[in-house]
Structure 1
């Protein structure tokens, strides 16, 4: 049986440490897929690791048009919430028998209350400020969720036993939620087999 454990501080290589994938979207325009540290100002031209973001998969879309821009990948997708997964950003690391990898799950929007990814932060009501972290559709109680506000302040939230959190929405701008768990067992990412897999989820939404 695969084991899942909450991860508060990820023990990953320096190149991957603190990095997340997130998606931003303004209205019904194209989605922008980023790799970096969302609480930090984006360097000119994008994060130094951005070159490793080469083939993000947009859930529910077949061969969407992706355009590489300065610091992000632009995706032409239909209106609605956007979900992206990627397990090929960083190659497995560590010693034989103790290999580790990372898979990212990123979502933009809070119109849909359901989940479509293995690890996802979803709103309880369309446009609402209450969310739930779910793993394979099941709420994750007591999880640590980090909120990055439009001012790039990081606030740590703790999910209730039913997996729900309430986001303290204030000023206008982009809000980002992130959470992480680790799974152990005989697992695999695009780069090969691993013994521990870090799952990292983000959800962004705009307050106007």
Structure 2
């Protein structure tokens, strides 16, 4: 089943929150660390230029909340696997106060996978920068129907995932919620130049064990980011 943030299908305009609001969000996230709440509040995304390195962030894109290395970012990004378009595993090439950089080069999509457990929930974060590849490789992934297209199919473990909410964030700090159709498809518009981030989540009520710790369910949180030049 998908995780819903609401049923609104119309644009919602959001402005940057005040510092006190950002501080409150961070405190709330810290309080929830150790539970699935922090995972539900935040997500991982990648930022990348045309052919340069990829930067990993954790937080709230629309609110300009980017967690720090000495805070939640460092606690969540413990062993991310970042791969180039050809499957080559990329090495971390640097760190900033609120990001980890990976030495990507050349064209093609870059992907990240990072599992982490919050109490009884195993959260599997996924992120992709680029909309060139039309084949899904992450457990939960949005793929374009053609390179550079604005129509996407949400895949879960290789199959289209229907009736699942997808949130699209874009400039100027705008967001709109969609639901994938019976074929897992959504179609968006990109009216402004700049960065867009798409987020989707899915939960499996499936118990298991990872690294010696038991969990009751698995939550998949995946993002797709790309830039529009106009």
Pairwise same-fold verdict (TM > 0.5) = yes
How many corresponding residue pairs? Answer: 196
1:169 corresponds to 2:190: yes
Higher helix fraction: Structure 1 or Structure 2?
Answer: 2
| Corresponding residue of 1:92 | 118
Contact 1:103 1:189 in 2 (8 A): no
Cα RMSD after superposing both structures = 2.2
Which consecutive residues of structure 1, in runs of 5 or more, have no partner in the other structure?
94-98
**1:13 Cα deviation from its structure 2 partner:** 4.3
**Matches of 2:58 and 2:186 in 1, distance apart?**
25
1:20 corresponds to 2:16: no
**1:66 Cα deviation from its structure 2 partner:** 3.5
Which consecutive residues of structure 2, in runs of 5 or more, have no partner in the other structure?
6-31
1:57 corresponds to 2:81: yes
In structure 1, the residue corresponding to 2:45 is in which secondary structure?
A: strand
TM-score, length-scaled by structure 2: 0.78
**1:133 Cα deviation from its structure 2 partner:** 0.4
| Corresponding residue of 1:83 | 111
Q: What do residues 14-53 of structure 1 show as CA deviations (whole Å, max 9, x unaligned)?
A: 4334110011110100001111111111359579411212
TM-score, length-scaled by structure 1: 0.86
In structure 1, the residue corresponding to 2:65 is in which secondary structure?
A: coil
Contact 1:87 1:189 in 2 (8 A): no
CA spacing shift, 1:189–1:27, aligned 2, 3 Å: farther
1:69 corresponds to 2:96: yes
| Of 185-194 and 99-108, the range deviating more from structure 2 | 185-194
Q: Which runs of 4+ in 1 moved over 4 A?
A: 11-14, 43-48
Q: What do residues 37-94 of structure 1 show as CA deviations (whole Å, max 9, x unaligned)?
A: 1111135957941121232111323352342212111000232100100013xx331x
Contact 2:67 2:73 in 1 (8 A): no
Written as runs of structure 1 = structure 2, the 5 A alignment for 1:25-64 is 25-42=48-65, 48-52=71-75, 53-59=77-83, 60-62=87-89, 64=91
